[in-house]
Copies of this chain bind each other. A is one copy, B any other.
Amino acid sequence: MILPKANRLTPEQVREITRIVELSGCRIQPIVGAVRTIYAIVGDERDELMFNRLEGLPYVERIDRIQSPFRLMDIRSDLATHRIAVGGVILGQKLLVIAGQCTIDPKNPNYFLETAAAVKEAGAHVLRGGVWKPRTNPYAFQGDDKSLDILMEASRRTGLPVDTEVMDEYQLKLALDAGVTMLQVGARNALNYSLLRQIGAAVAGRKTIVLLKRSLHMGTLHEFISAAEYIANFGNPNVILCPRGTAPALDGYRNHPDESIVPLLKERTWAPVVVDPSHSVGKASYVPACALAAIAYGADGLCVEAHVQPSRGIGDDPKQAITPDVLRALVAKAQAVWQLVRAGKPATTTVRAKTGRVARG
C-alpha cells in the first residue's frame, strides 16, 4: 500500500511506481478516496528491493506492508502443525523446563555435576550449561573447551539432553560432534546472519533443536521471526524463540523483561516460545515472579539459571542463579499457572498434534 505525500500522484508518478512494481511481478491498483488516493500493490509483495525502491521515491510518504515475509515460520504456513519435542516434552502440550548453570567452571566440575543432578530432580527436562561465554569485558572469563566434556558427562549421568550456546563455527562443530541436542544462539548473535546460516546448514538433516534468544534491542517481532526463518530455511524447522529481556534496562533489572511479547509472537508464528527470566531480570530474587508472568502470558517453557551454590559460581551465576530448592518450588507453581491459563481454552493443541509432524530432539 503506497501512501503519497500529496493527495494523489501525478500520471507520471503512477507510471514510475507501476514500472517498479511490475519488475517484481506485481501491479498497482489505485484506491480513490474522498480526499486522498492511495495505491495498493497487488501480487506477491515480498521483494525487499521493490520496497526499497518505492520508499526511495521523494513523493512517497510511506509504504504499508500487507503480506508476511515469512515462508516457513508464519502462523499460516504449512509448518503450522509441526511440533517440536525434547526431553520427553512435546512443546505446547506440557511446560518445558530448561535449567542449569550460566557458566560451567572448568576448575570445579563437581559443581556442575551436582547442579545437573539437582535440576533434574527439581523437574528440568533439558540441562543448560555454558561452555563458551560472550562477555562484555574482554578481560573476563570467556569459557573453556574442557567444559564441554563436563557438560556431556553430566548429560550421561542424568540422561538429560543438553543446551549450550555456540558463537562461531569452531564451537558449533565441537558441540555437534559431542552430541549437544539444543544449540543456543545468544542475544548478541541473534542477528549474526553468518552464524545463523552456519547453524542452519549444520543442523539440517539432524534432530538438533535451536534455542534462539531475542536480540537485546527492542526491535520488531519481524526481525526476531526472520532470524528463525534463516535457520529453518536450511531444512530443520526445530527453532524455539526465547525472549530474555531487552535494553535499555528497567530501573533495577539487568534488562527490560519482555515476556509480554509472547501473545504477539504466537499470533504471527507457530514457533514455540520459551522465556528466560534469569537474564530478563538479572537477579535471583526476581526470577520466580518473572517466570510465572511468562507462563501467564502463554509461554511454552522456561529457561532458568540454577546452581547448587550460586555464590561459588562464575559468570553470571553468583547474581542470577537460583538454588535447586527455589527451582523445584518454581516448577510446581509454574505448572499450576500453566494449567490455569490453559483451562477453558479450546484444545487446538491436541488436534494439531494428531495431524502434525512431531520432531523429537
Query: Which residues of A are at the interface with B, using a C-beta cutoff of 8 A?
Result: 1, 3, 5, 7, 29, 31-36, 38, 40, 42-44, 46, 48-49, 52-53, 55-58, 61, 64, 66-67, 69, 71, 76, 134-142, 167-169, 171, 188-189, 191-195, 198, 215-223, 226, 229-230, 233, 246-248, 250-253, 256-264, 267, 280-281, 283-286, 289-290, 292-298, 310-311, 314-320, 329, 333, 336-337, 340-341, 343-344
Contacts and interface: CB of A to CB of B under 8 A. Distances in A.
Nearest to A193: B134
* Interface-centre pick from A195, A223, A296, A319 (highest chain B CB count, 10 A): A296
Contacts of A253: 260, 264
Contacts of A58: 285
Contact of A318 (B53, B167, B218, B293): B53
A247 B217 contact: yes
Give 10 closest A-B pairs by Cβ, nearest first.
A217-B217, A292-B296, A188-B191, A293-B293, A168-B194, A56-B318, A293-B296, A257-B260, A48-B140, A53-B318
Given A222-B251, A260-B280, A289-B341, 14 more contacts: A29-B31, A52-B317, A57-B311, A58-B285, A64-B64, A167-B193, A168-B194, A192-B192, A217-B219, A217-B247, A221-B252, A250-B264, A289-B296, A293-B297
Contact of A283 (B55, B215, B344): B55
A256 B43 CA distance: 32
A134 to B, nearest CB: 5
8 contacts: A1-B64, A46-B137, A55-B319, A138-B229, A168-B169, A215-B216, A251-B261, A256-B260
A323 to B, nearest CB: 12
Given A193-B135, A297-B290, A319-B56, A221 B33 contact: no
B215 A284 contact: no
Contact of A56 (B233, B296, B311): B311
A128 to B, nearest CB: 18
A337 B289 CA distance: 11
Given A33-B42, A67-B35, A135-B48, A289 B298 contact: yes
A57 B298 CA distance: 22
Contacts of A280: 260
Nearest to A234: B138
A249 to B, nearest CB: 9
